[in-house]
Structure 1
Amino acid sequence: MTVQTHPLTDRIDRRRLRDYRRSLPTAVRPPWAGILGRALLLIGFPTALLVTWLTVLGDTVSDDGEWDWALTLILVPYAIPPVIGIVMFVRAVRRRSGVRQFRLHDFAEANRFTYQPYAPAPALPGMVFTRPAQSSSFVTDVLRRRSGHALEIGNHTCTTGSGKNTATHRWGYAAIRLPVALPHIVLDARGNNSIGRPALPIAFARDQRLSLEGDFDRHFTLYCPEGYETDALYLFSPDTMAIFVDDAARLDVELVDDYLFLYFPGQLSTLDPELWQRLLATTETLSQRVLRWERWRDDRIRTDAQPFVDSSIAGPGAGRGVAQQGRRLSVRQDWWWVLGAAFAVFGLVNLVIDTVSGWLS
């Protein structure tokens, strides 16, 4: 597959860029009023206070001729907000330029994709899109191909928690439509994990791990539903495993319903030509390989039973189905917080008893 990456690096026609920039949504290109308001708030007010303190300290220095460095520490907190404001202002100006979106738009057209700079999170079944406790989510820089093997590549951002516990999670993803619904199988890439901690947004029960032959386990941890071990060995034959090891060793993989997802903790839709070359070559190879999976059938579904068909995800091969026990992996339940709470209560009770005993004695 030949990938045209020159739009990502070619010189930009400034007139075309200005015309394209006007079409960008405010979520991607925020108005100047909001940017300047935040910048003035972070830069102007703290700077005024900083100037006031410098004036006061300057008068102190003029009296005795020596600078009181201890008083200088008072100025540090006032200097931090202006620095943050300047950084935010520069980033906002670069974001409003529309250069990134313009290049990706031309790249998409050159390679027969459509491009969408911003959209609400799509209704996809992958674990990145269905992360528990999401308060908001959206996707950016989405490239879609409908002809041939349906493919979608983009960057997903979601927020979990609230208040001080708010956290933002960013994942790049590639979604390949499959010819048939398959059991829920996850390949956790060891190459993008932290020490002792998987990068996956969801923790799966460890008794669903399946060890495969060769050195595959050095690169991936495979999870499959209980009773689907033989099916996983069929789907991930040695030649298929070799593709994942050679081309996708740093990408997490998920088979769910009639989708194959590739995930990366960061961004996949970027302006990096080499990344696009590798990614599109990998998705093309996998798209050809998964055609073999069309022959898979779930023997657990009786021929006279109503197969699993979800109209929102039904693809060309939907209707063959997956039995209930194979549609989703079991999520690991963490009990450490229960034990921690129990120990805390136990310690508090002992403290109260000891205190009361001291008073009585």
Structure 2
Amino acid sequence: MTGRARRLRDRPSWSRFIRTQGFSGSGLAAIVGGVVFAVLVIAAVGVGLPLVLAEYTALIVFVGVPILVVIFAVSTFLAVRSTSRGARVQAWAEKSGMRYVHQRRSRNSAPWMGTPFARTGGYAVRHHAIGSDVETARFRSLPDDSGYHSAGLVNSFTFVRFTLPTSVPHLVVTSNRSSTLNAAGLAISGGRVLRGSIEFDSSFTLHCPADYERDALYIFTPDLLALMIDVAPGCDLELVDGTAYLYMSREPKLWDERVGADLLAVVELLRRKLDRQTRHYVDERSSAGTSRAGSPTVARSGLRLANRRSARGVLLATALWIPGIAVAVAIIAQALGWVSVL
């Protein structure tokens, strides 16, 4: 097979992508609707507005209309690019044996157990690839009806979920230089902060429940932290129940198959290391000993770490409230006659 034939064979199929994701889910509905809306707005501004504001005809036609054309052209280009990338990510996911969802919004609570996933409100994901024991997506929380995010003010982040051989205490390793959870607006609280090794104190902070310090150091050994520096720099890693979550602020370019292959390779390296570190772990504090399925269990005190808004989350929340507070103060001041805006 020639190189050109191979490229044609491996080229993502837009038709398959649209059939699989649907007219709306693929983003095609947004592209078509955006183009129709753009044509109507440009026609209204370019033809209708000069009839009302005849003295500004030249300004509208030669300045306003070109600006609108550029804005709509850029928006359409970005929408088409998003759909094209989705088709390529789907091709990579299917080739890797995973099911793919291009984008999805839900008003229900998030189904994942990690710290940053909202328990109320809703969530949205994109580039969601789902395998039997590995899953990845770009995640952002949606506020509930009162505008509240239950997990704090969470910015978008990418997560990779993979399974562990047994249940473990709730442990979180955050990067000291560029923590994804901190950037998302969250900070771990209510547990113990460990400095496992002088060699890695400047790179990581290890969070664990009270009285689980030895367990945390048993699992997060220096060679595991060294592996994270090598293959997942700047990422946070969370272990909860029998699952691991790798968090990253930047979205990996999964539409490039080489990046997707590299991501799966990183997950496999971490999985193998965590498998060795956790397979024989037993929580001696657990009165149940083992579950009905025969797997070890974790005592209630080791199940969940608390979280709060990070300093960045507080700062961003405050910045969002400032305009509303300013308007409220101006209205009250006007009503009391302290100031006059007339």
**1:1-361 aligned within 5 A:** 10-11=7-8, 16-25=13-22, 26-31=24-29, 34-40=33-39, 42-48=41-47, 51=50, 55-57=54-56, 83-95=70-82, 98-119=83-104, 123-128=111-116, 130-131=117-118, 135-146=121-132, 150-160=133-143, 169-193=155-179, 198-205=182-189, 208-268=192-252, 270-292=254-276, 293-302=278-287, 305=288, 319-332=295-308
Change (3 A) 1:100 1:300: same
- Specify the code of the residue in structure 2 equivalent to 1:125: M
Identical pairs, percent: 25
Conservation of the 8 A alpha-carbon contact between 1:254 and 1:261: yes
Q: Deviations over 1:301-350 (max 9, x none)?
A: 12xx37678xxxxxx87x4211111111122478989xxxxxx9xxx9xx
Residue 320 of structure 2 corresponds to: none
What RMSD in Å do the two structures reach over aligned CA positions?
Answer: 4.3
Change (3 A) 1:42 1:200: same
With normalisation by structure 1, the TM-score equals: 0.68
Change (3 A) 1:328 1:48: farther
Q: d(CA) in 2 for partners of 1:43 and 1:137? A: 34
Q: d(CA) in 2 for partners of 1:171 and 1:111? A: 22
Q: d(CA) in 1 for partners of 2:289 and 2:191? A: 30
Instruction: Give the greater-gyration-radius structure (CA).
Output: 1
Residue 3 of structure 1 corresponds to: none
For the residue of structure 2 that corresponds to 1:204, the secondary structure is strand
Q: Structure 1: 5+ residue runs without aligned partners? A: 1-5, 60-71, 310-315, 338-343, 356-361
Q: d(CA) in 1 for partners of 2:39 and 2:103? A: 27
Q: d(CA) in 2 for partners of 1:272 and 1:136? A: 29
Q: d(CA) in 1 for partners of 2:186 and 2:18? A: 38
Q: d(CA) in 2 for partners of 1:254 and 1:219? A: 16
Q: d(CA) in 1 for partners of 2:97 and 2:178? A: 30
Q: Deviations over 1:268-290 (max 9, x none)?
A: 36223453343222211111112
Shift of 1:38: 3.6
Residue 341 of structure 1 corresponds to: none
Q: Deviations over 1:215-237 (max 9, x none)?
A: 32222222111111110000011
- Specify the code of the residue in structure 2 equivalent to 1:92: A
- Specify the code of the residue in structure 2 equivalent to 1:39: A
- Specify the code of the residue in structure 1 equivalent to 2:282: R
Aligned length: 308
- Specify the code of the residue in structure 1 equivalent to 2:14: L
Conservation of the 8 A alpha-carbon contact between 2:190 and 2:209: no
Q: d(CA) in 2 for partners of 1:175 and 1:334? A: 23
